[in-house]
Amino acid sequence: MKLVVAIAVVVLMDDYLQEEPVEASLLLSLVAAVGLGPATNNVVLFLFTG
């Protein structure tokens, strides 16, 4: 499901990336951080709680 959302975000932001590449790159970085943050937290929790 996350992959579908990620593809949709990139497709929807295509025009924005061409018009404002710096702002769009920062926004995509924020979206990636919000998506990868909880996943990384889960991996760390599973590693330490066994």
User: Taking the complete model, does pTM exceed 0.85, yes or no?
Assistant: no
Rounded Cα distance, 23 and 7, in Å:
19
| Helix segments in the chain, DSSP class H | 2-12, 14-19, 21-49
What does the pLDDT read at residue 44? 92
Per-residue model confidence (pLDDT) at position 5: 83
Residue type, 18: Q
pLDDT single digits (tens) 1-48: 878 988 888 898 888 889 999 998 899 889 888 888 888 899 999 999
